[in-house]
Structure 1
């Protein structure tokens, strides 16, 4: 997957996340980001990588996100691998 495609998936995932007030609140709390920070960083590939990292922390979130966007479950991990830091080894 090319980085441009990965960024599009991550932006769509951020939009999905922001549409869920409860989960978005968890994201803000976990990252320490404010809504203004999210708006300012929404185009930053490193921030977008963090969005995907957050969603991929919970299988239920991955399923909900991918079902809502009509994409395969492995797409988030593929997109994450194409963003900065995605080439790190997976030890699990």
Structure 2
């Protein structure tokens, strides 16, 4: 999984959330975002990780997104790990 592929998957995941108002509202409620702050947050480091964390934290949404995207759920988790980096889980390179 490359960073570019991981970001593309996160963008696709955001599109999936945005396609259904209830899904997007839940994401915004849990992250503290509003419609006015969502666009600005999308450019912040960590935003894509938050999108993928949100899906990974709800198995039914993870499976639905993965099926919709035609990818195994493990790709979502691998993309999240790639974007979060090794320090996200207390791991260090080297």
| Structure 1 portions without partners, runs of 5+ | none
Q: Partner of 1:72 in structure 2?
A: 72
Aligned residue pair count: 89
Q: Partner of 1:20 in structure 2?
A: 20
Q: Partner of 2:42 in structure 1?
A: 42
Q: Following superposition, which runs of at least 4 residues in structure 1 exceed 3 angstroms of deviation? A: none
Larger Rg: 2
| Structure 2 portions without partners, runs of 5+ | none
Q: Partner of 1:29 in structure 2?
A: 29
Distance 1:16 1:45 in 2: 20
Q: Normalization by structure 1: what TM-score?
A: 0.86
Q: Residues 34-82 of structure 1, C-alpha deviation per residue, up to 9 Å, x if partnerless?
A: 1232222324441011000011101101001111111111010000011
Q: Normalization by structure 2: what TM-score?
A: 0.84
Distance 1:25 1:51 in 2: 13
